[in-house]
Structures are given as structure tokens and as C-alpha cells.
Structure 1
Amino acid sequence: MTVSQLKVRKITPEQFFMLSAMGVNLGNYLYNLLLGRILGPEQFANAAILITFLLVLSFIAMTFQLTVAKFTAGYETEKQLHFLNYVKKASLIIGILASLAVVLFAGQLQQIFNTDSKWMFIIFGVGIPLYFLMSVNRGFYQGSKSFYKLSATYQTEMFSRLIITLLLVTLLANGSSVLIASGILISFIFGLIPFKNSGNFFTKVTLETNDRKNLVNFIAITAFYELTQIIINNSDILLVKHYFNSYDAGLYASLALIGRLVYFVAWMFVMILLPTVVQKKKNGENTLPVLFKYVGFVSLLAVSIVTVTFFFPEFIINIMFGEAYTSIAPLLWKYAMATSLFAISNVFVYYFLSIDKYMPVALSGVFGLGQVGLIVFFHNSLNQVVIVQIIIMMMLLFIQLVYFFYQHKKKTHLQ
């Protein structure tokens, strides 16, 4: 179905983006599932490290995307392009520094995570500046609510990675982590399509003092929160790869992939929530209905996924990854519960982030570090690792709800 046909049927740009994001998530899932089936648990553990590094990179790059989205939503067209050019340059500088760090310490990363090659990290590191630039580009489309173009950037990245990686792995050298890293790198290039031209890139760009101050403050807060996202979402896989053997790490990677479905779907709602809340706040409108709407969507999704994974764990594992992974089935609903609690909590955090309230960000950081600490001390079994996460996420959601009701009561008293 073409974009023009969708417009005729009165599907809004936001709805189109939701449909597109669902397709992208399904494509990314298919990518992981096929790799899991082709490689088997032990080799999939190495692929899972690259996939986890990709998720870590996406959270870091989200700092740029959310920053551009927030400020673009509040600027006029000429100022938007000026700001976009400024952040593009900053993202490339930071991206090159990060790339050098990964390339230089590739050998150490190989030892820490017990992988079969350091070249997988080197190839991945080369692509970091491209991914940051891609995220700045997406931030502009998100903030200006150009959801058709925003959808296209995700589609080009996903389809290219899916097709190219699977072709490389199946045709050249089955199971090579270097080939998987190469497919990821190539997908970053395709993810730049369509690219927003912001004028002469080499022109010196400066921002007004107040704009620069607001930019630095928001980037600092957002970067801190994205760091907590990295810790909460990915520390378990990295720690399991470090503490457990490759077979168990591969089983856990398949568990995490399925259990995180609710989080990845919730991400679609967050992408629409942020610019919507920013715009409503700017217009002096009530932003709470937007929050309640998306909390309701994510909660319904979470309950559905936990219920299905509780009653049909072996069936789901077998369909998705095959019989080699079914021994992990009893943990599936527990992991889904942990990620569901985090996904709901995350909606509250992004809501407060969009209205310039940052305490929930700090709270997420505290609990993220708490999760790492508890896993370091309690990792006698994979079940214990999952139980630790359920406890931490229950506490985090409770604290976020307490903060929300406190802020709401405080605002009511002031009116």
C-alpha cells in the first residue's frame, strides 16, 4: 500500500509511523530469530553481543535524536535548520572519538566478552559516527512530525541489515561475527536515507547563549537517562556473557529477545509522545491525557504479552528459535514481566523529560546501577538473574508512580 493510498484512507502520519514501526520491529525480530536458528546457542551468543552493542549505540544516539526532536518542535523553520547543522557537527565529533575508543580497545573487548574475534568490534566501531549522524537526521523528522520520512529511515536501515547480513552469513562463511558486523555497518549507510540537507555543512554555526545553555542542559540530562537505559536494558546480557558459558549466554540472549518485545513496541509510543507533549505544553494545553493514553496502551500490551508467555512458553520458544532453546522456556514469562514493568515506567520518564522535569531520570539511574550491583552478587543461575530484575523494576515503577502523584497533587494545590 502506497503512502498516497494511506492518505486517501485518512490514516494520519502518526498512525502511519506506528504501522511502519511495527513493521521495523518485526523485521528486526526476524533478523535476530533467523540468526539464532542459523547459528545455534553457542555461536548466537557472539552475535548477541553485537546486537547488544547495537542497542547500546542506539540508546547513546537517542540523546541526539531526542535533543533535536525537542528543540525542532519549538523552533521556526530557519532556526530549525541552523540548529540541525550545529548538532550534526557535534554528533560527528563525538562519534569519531567514540569510534576511536572502540577500535583501540577492540582486543580488550574480545577478552571481556569471550568472543571469537576482535575485528567484529573494529568494524562496528567504524560505523559509530554514521549512526550518530543518522540519529540527528531522525530527530529532525521526529520533531517536525515528518513521520513518513522518519519511517523511511528506520525501514531502510532494517531492510538493508536483514537482507545483507543474512546473505553474507549464509553464502560466505556461516556464523562469522565479522560478517554480521559488516552487515550492521552497511545498514548504517542505508539508514541515512532520506537525508535532511541543512545547508553548507562547513559553514561556521553558532547558537545564541540561551539556546546553547538550554541545549547543553537537555543533552546532559538526556545522556544521563540514556545511560540508565543502557544499563537497565543491556547490562544483564553483557554480565551473563561474562559470568556464564557460551551455551547459557546464547539461551539467555534468546530469552531477552522475546521478553523485550513489550519494550520495543512501547518505544513506538514514546516516539510520538515526546513531540506531542512538547507542543501541547507550548500551547498551554493539558498534557495528562496524552500520558494516560500511552500508559494505557503500554500496560494493555504488557499484560497481554506476560499472559501469553506464561501459558505458552515452550511453544513460543520453539516457534521462534527452535528446540535447541526450549530449556529456557520456564523463565520467559518472568523476563517478560521485568521488561513490562520497565516499559511502563519508561513512559512516565519520557513524559517528565518532555516537560523539563528530571527527577525520574535520576531515579532510573539509581535503580539501573542497583540492577548491575545485584546481578554481580546474585548470579548463581539464570533464574536468579531474572528475579533480580523483576524486583528492581517493581521498585522503580512504584517510585515513578509516587513521584507522579506527588507532582500532580502539588500542581493541583498551586492552581
Structure 2
Amino acid sequence: MQLIATLKSKKLTPEQIFMVSVLAVNGGNYLYNLILGRVLGPTAFADAAVLITFLLVLSFIAMTFQLVTAKFSVLFENSVFGSFITQVYKRAFGVGIILGIAIICFAGELQALFNTTSKSMFVIFGCGVPLYFLMSVNRGTFQGKKDYKALSITYQGEMLSRLLITIGIILVFDITSSWVIAAGILLSFGFGLFPFKVKQFNLKKILPLEEKYSNQIKKFFLLTAFYELTQIVINNSDILLVKHYFESYEAGLYASLALIGRMVYFIAWMFVMLLLPAVVELKKEGKETASILLKYVGYIAIISALIIVTCISLPELIIHILFGEEYLAMAPLLWKYAIATSMFAFSNIFAYYYLSLDKYIPVIISGIFGMLQMVLVIFYHGSLEQVVHMQIVAMALLLVIQLGFFKLETRKPKNA
């Protein structure tokens, strides 16, 4: 809170405050993973990586509700917004309960599938799923209304609580079981709910939305859900497939590589959060939107270039500092993985841009290449290097096609 007050005194805009906050949250999440990697070692960290990957998968599923909430929080007002937000909370909580029960019921099967040492970590994780969906809808209202201070607080609360609770238990009580990590994740969902706007909905009295609004919401929800599914496949299938096909030691090494290499994607994510409500609002006002896309693409280009050059120049030093000597075998692959995630970050912001404009061809393209990446890894996984190469191939093709679509779309008005 003191940081936010200081930033305000420096005349930073709410968007800039949120960007600083996201960098802090990403830094905290990296610290959380790095400490786990160092304390647990490659073999035990492989189990932790499965839970962390499950958390990422959950975040992408819940992001569907967050983005739908964000978009229509811009478009709807007064009683229409009240009816909309109440229905979204109700349905999100219902989906969360169903998914949570499914994870708990199939905990044993998940343990066997991913070669983990315990099924209790899946049971504990499943208990927190409904809370995560409520948290995501809450965040969607802040995102849509551009209340970046509250949005920053909810992300900071989740990150800090997970970091302090998990690492505290491990270091103070010397407990390194996977259930500790699951418990830390569960409790962090509760902290991430605050601030929570209880007064903005009423579950006892839900006014039905007009059919035109309902159709808009359903269409956007289905396409967003499909796109988030492609995000899950592209972002997490490699880690889960490596955990399935390789020994735990190699899977732990790969998890460290993925964590470092995905730095580009997680930084680019904050631009997506700012992009969607801005594009929806500009479209609502009848203004052009391409300039704001190109601004954020420029930011991502600079960040990607810096990270890739650093990974090429100092791979061993980076891995040694972040994870330790046990993980140095991944140094030659670090820059290659960074290239793959950079290309995905570029493709991702183009897809979200067109999703905001209700143009869905880039979403379908992402789905096709998400499946292609998974298929390539399934058929070509002779080594960890080959797994990375397959991702580069898939993401390069995806980026080329997304850029081609953008070029065609920008030419249309000139030819009209």
C-alpha cells in the first residue's frame, strides 16, 4: 500500500501503477518457484511443478470468466450490469465446484498419470478451485472498470500469501511434502479474494438479461473459453508431457527451464490485461484501435529482445543464480525456449486484440497450432532439446500466420 501511495505521488497513471504491480507480482511468483526449486531439488521439484502447472491451467480456465466480466463491465451499466455480474458469479462458482469435485474424485488417477508421490496434493488443490473462480470474476470487474488499484491489491494478496505461507512452513518446520505446496495455494485463493465487492450482486433476486445481451455474452464466452483452452495447451502441455514421458529428474530440469523461459510471456500478460478494456472502450466510442495494439507490441518486442540476448550471453550464470548447479544441464536450451515463448507472446497479444473486437479467426488459428504443438511433442520427444525444437516450429508458424492476418485486416479499409 505504501508503494502504491508513493507511486501516486510521482504522478504515475493507474495503468502504470498496475504495470509496476504486475512486475512485482511476477517477481514474487518467480521467487516462490526459485526457492522451491533450490530447496526441493530437481526430483521433488517435479511434483511441485505439476501443482504449479495445475494452477496455471486453472488460471486460464478462470480467465474466461474474468475476460467476459471485464468486457461487459465496459459495455453494461446500472441494472443491466447488476443482473449480468450476479449471473456470472453464480455460474463461475458452479463451474468451480464441478471442477473441484472432479479433481478430488480423480486424485488417484492424476497421481498415477503424472507420477507424483502423493494424491493428497490434488485433493487439497481441488478444495480451492471454487474460490479461484470467484476471485477471477471479482478481478474481471476491477479490470473492466479500470480500477487498477484494487486489481493490483488482489494479485499482490494472492502472491504474497502463497509465498510467505508455503516458504514459511518449509523453512520453519522443515516439511517438504507436496501437500504443503497445495495448502499454500489453497490459502492464497482466500487472500486473493480481497478486496471483494459484495454489494455489487444479489443472489436472491436475479433479473433476466435481454436476449440480445445474453446472445452477446454466450458468443463471447464460448470463443474466449476456446481460446483459453488453446492457452492451456500451448502453455502447459509441454511440462505435463515431459513429466509423463521422462524421468522425474529430467522433468524437474525441464520445469526450471520453462520457468525461466516463460518470463517473456508473464511480462507480456500485463499488456493483455490493459489491452482488452482499452480496445473495447475505443470500439464503443467508434475510434481506431490498431495504434494501441502496436504500442504494446513494441513493448513486448523490446522486452523479448533483452531477455533473449541475456539468455544467449549468460545462460549458465542465469541458471546458476536462479536454481543452482544441479540445473546447469539446461543452459544450452535456455535461449531456444525463450525464443519459443517470445513468439507465443507476440501471437497471444494479436489474438486477444481481435478477441476484443469480436473477430475470431485468430482464436481458431491459435487453437489449431496449440494442438499442433502438442502432437509434435507427442511424436517427437527423443530428448528435451527435441521437445523445445518442436515448440519453436509450432510457435513460428503461428506467429507468421497471425501477422499475415493482421496485415490483411489493416489493408481492408484502404481497399474499401
TM-score by length of 1: 0.98
1:210 alignment counterpart: 212
* Consecutive unaligned residues in structure 2, runs of 5 or more: none
The Cα shift of 1:9 comes to 2.2
Pick which of 191-200 and 285-294 moved more: 191-200
Amino acid at match of 2:155: Y
DSSP 3-state at the match of 2:196? coil
Residues 86 and 205, structure 1, Cα contact 8 Å, conserved in 2: no
Q: 2:366: which partner in 1?
A: 364
1:104 to 1:367, Cα distance in 2 relative to 1, 3 A? same
Query: Partner residue of 1:255?
Result: 257
Q: Distance in 2 between matches of 1:34 and 1:271?
A: 27
**Shift of the alpha carbon at 1:388?**
0.4
Q: Deviations over 1:309-337 (max 9, x none)?
A: 01100000000001111111100000000
Report what 1:126 is aligned to.
127
Deviation, structure 1 residue 160: 0.3
| Structure 1 residue 206, shift from structure 2 partner | 2.0
User: Is 2:177 the counterpart of 1:176?
Assistant: yes
**Are 2:101 and 1:100 equivalent residues in the alignment?**
yes
Q: Is the 8 A contact 2:85 2:201 kept in 1?
A: no
Distance in 2 (alpha carbons) for counterparts of 1:357 and 1:405: 14
> Amino acid of the residue matched to residue 260 of structure 1?
R
Aligned equivalents of 2:296 and 2:82: distance in 1?
30
| Structure 2 match to 1:91 | 92
Number of matched pairs? 414
Separation of aligned partners in 2, 1:340 and 1:39? 29
Residue 353 to residue 367, structure 1, CA distance change in 2 (3 Å): same
1:12 correspondence with 2:13: yes
* Number of the residue aligned with 1:158: 159
1:168 Cα offset (Å): 1.8
Following the alignment from structure 2 to structure 1, what is the Cα–Cα distance between the partners of residues 122 and 174?
Answer: 18
Q: Post-superposition shift, 1:205?
A: 4.0
Q: Deviations over 1:68-118 (max 9, x none)?
A: 000001122443233111100000111111111111111000000000011
Deviation at 1:10, TM superposition (A): 1.3
Q: Aligned to 1:344, which of 343, 346, 351?
A: 346
**1:220 is matched with which residue: 219, 222, 237?**
222
Q: Look up the SS of the partner of 2:72 in the other structure.
A: helix
How far is 1:280 from its partner?
Answer: 0.6
Out of 395, 403, 406, the residue aligned to residue 393 of structure 1 is 395
Cα gap change, 1:368 to 1:2, in 2 (>3 Å):
closer
* CA shift digits 1:276-324 (9 cap, x unpaired): 0111111111101101100111011111111100110000000000111
- Give, as a single letter, the amino acid of the residue that structure 2 aligns with 1:145: K
Alpha-carbon shift at residue 2 of structure 1 (Å): 4.5
User: In 2, distance between residues paired with 1:331 and 1:64?
Assistant: 35
The match for 2:70 is: 69
Q: Secondary structure in 2 aligned to 1:127?
A: helix
- Matched position secondary structure for 2:201: coil
Q: Which runs of 4+ in 1 moved over 6 A?
A: none
Please give the alpha-carbon distance, in whole angstroms, between the structure 2 residues aligned to 1:3 and 1:54.
Answer: 27
Query: Matched residues in 1 for 2:152 and 2:79: separation?
Result: 24
Of the three residues 260, 263, 266, the one matched with 1:264 is 266
CA contact (8 A) 1:103 1:125 kept: yes
Hey, what's the Cα distance between the residues in 2 that align with 1:303 and 1:65? 30
Tell whether the 8 Å contact from 1:168 to 1:180 is kept in structure 2 after alignment.
no
SS at match of 1:97: helix
The answer to whether the Cα contact below 8 Å between 2:89 and 2:137 also exists between their aligned partners in 1 is yes
Query: What root-mean-square deviation, in Å, do the aligned CA atoms of Structure 1 and Structure 2 show?
Result: 1.0
CA shift, 1:170, in A, is 2.3
Q: Distance in 2 between matches of 1:160 and 1:257?
A: 20
| Counterpart code for 2:290 | L
Aligned to 1:47: 48
Q: Percent identity?
A: 57
Q: Separation in 1 of the partners of 2:201 and 2:218?
A: 23
CA distance, structure 2, for counterparts of residue 8 and residue 116 of structure 1: 50
| Structure-1 residue corresponding to 2:337 | 335
Secondary structure (helix, strand or coil) at the match of 1:117 reads coil
* TM-score with structure 2 setting the length: 0.98
Counterpart in the other structure of 1:288: 290
In structure 2, C-alpha distance between the alignment counterparts of 1:222 and 1:341, rounded to whole Å: 21
Structure 2 residue aligned with 1:316:
318
Deviation at 1:173, TM superposition (A): 4.7
What secondary structure sits across from 1:357 in the alignment? coil
- The residue number in structure 1 matching 2:306 is 304
For residue 133 of structure 1, report the CA deviation from its aligned partner: 0.5
